[in-house]
Amino acid sequence: MKTYTCQECGSEFAKDQLDSDYFADKEYICISCIDFLMECGRDAVYPDHIYDSFSDWDERGH
Ligand SMILES: [Zn+2]
């Protein structure tokens, strides 16, 4: 089976263990790294003033 090297953690993964959106762009990021990147990136990408539109605003105490 063909494997791909995750660009984040450097481990080898089969296609079904990679994020399909990135895969379509020929970027190979494994599912667990995607979860991590989403957690890290969300605050940076979306400033607080539009945060209220997100489904997890309850967690943030807004
Ligand atoms: Zn990874």
pLDDT digits (tens, 9 = 90+) for 4-19: 999 999 999 999 999 9
Give the Å distance between the CA of 43 and the centre of ligand 1. Answer: 21
Cα–Cα dist 58/56, whole Å: 5
- Which is higher by pLDDT, 16 or 59? 16
Domain boundaries, given as residue ranges, for the chain: 4-47
pLDDT(57) > 90: no
Give the Å distance between the CA of 9 and the centre of ligand 1. Answer: 4
Structure confidence by residue, pLDDT tens digits, 31-47: 999 999 888 876 655 55
Cα–Cα dist 23/40, whole Å: 20
| Pair 34, 27: CB distance under 8 Å | no
- Tokens encoding 45: 């990408």
Give the Å distance between the CA of 1 and the centre of ligand 1. Answer: 18
Structure confidence by residue, pLDDT tens digits, 16-35: 999 999 999 999 999 999 99
- Which is higher by pLDDT, 59 or 12? 12
Q: Which residues surround ligand 1, an ion (CB under 5 A)?
A: 6, 8-9, 30, 33
Give the Å distance between the CA of 61 and the centre of ligand 1. Answer: 31
Can you spell out the DSSP letters for 28-54? Answer: --BHHHHHHHHHHHHHHHS-GGGGGGS
The pTM of the full predicted model, rounded to 2 decimals, is 0.61
